[in-house]
Amino acid sequence: MSKTPAAPAPYADRIERLRAACRQRKLDGYLLLNRMDQIWLTGFTGEDGAVLVNERHVVLLTDGRFDETADREAPFARKVLRTSRTPDITAREIRRLKIARLGFDPRHMNVQTFAELRKALKGSRLNAASALISDMRRIKDPGETARIRRAIEIAEQAFQNLLEWLRPGMTEREVAARLVYDMQSRGAQEAAFQPIVAVGPNASLPHYEPGERRVTQREGVLIDWGARCDWYVSDLTRMVWPGSIPPELAKVCKTVLEALELATAAIKPGVPAAKIDQAARAHITQAGFGKQFTHSTGHGIGLDVHEDPGLRKRNKLPLEAGMVVTVEPGIYLPGVGGVRIENDVLVTETGHEVLSALPATVRVR
What is the per-residue pLDDT for 2? 59
Query: Which of 136, 153, 186 delimits the end of a domain?
Result: 136
Query: Which of 136, 166, 186 delimits the end of a domain?
Result: 136
Reported as a pLDDT band with limits 50, 70 and 90, residue 219 is: very high
Reported as a pLDDT band with limits 50, 70 and 90, residue 130 is: confident
Distance of alpha carbon 234 from alpha carbon 193, whole angstroms: 10
What is the per-residue pLDDT for 222? 98
Query: Do 31 and 171 reside in the same domain of the chain?
Result: no
What is the per-residue pLDDT for 341? 98
66-101, pLDDT tens digit by residue?
999 999 999 999 999 998 888 899 999 999 999 999
DSSP string of 6-61? PPPTTHHHHHHHHHHHHHHTT-SEEEE--HHHHHHHH----SS-EEEEESS-EEEE
Residues 103, 25: contact at Cβ < 8 Å?
yes
Query: Do 231 and 82 reside in the same domain of the chain?
Result: no
Strand partners, 227: 191
Query: Do 171 and 291 reside in the same domain of the chain?
Result: yes
Q: What is the mean pLDDT of the chain?
A: 96
Task: Indicate whether 3 belongs to any domain.
Answer: no
Of 171-180, 238-247, 267-276, minimum mean pLDDT range: 238-247
Q: Does residue 36 carry a pLDDT above 70? A: yes
- Residue 276: what residue type? I
131-154, pLDDT tens digit by residue?
899 999 999 999 999 999 999 999
Domain around 316: 142-363
Query: Do 48 and 85 reside in the same domain of the chain?
Result: yes
Task: Indicate whether 129 belongs to any domain.
Answer: yes
Give mean pLDDT, residues 330-337.
97
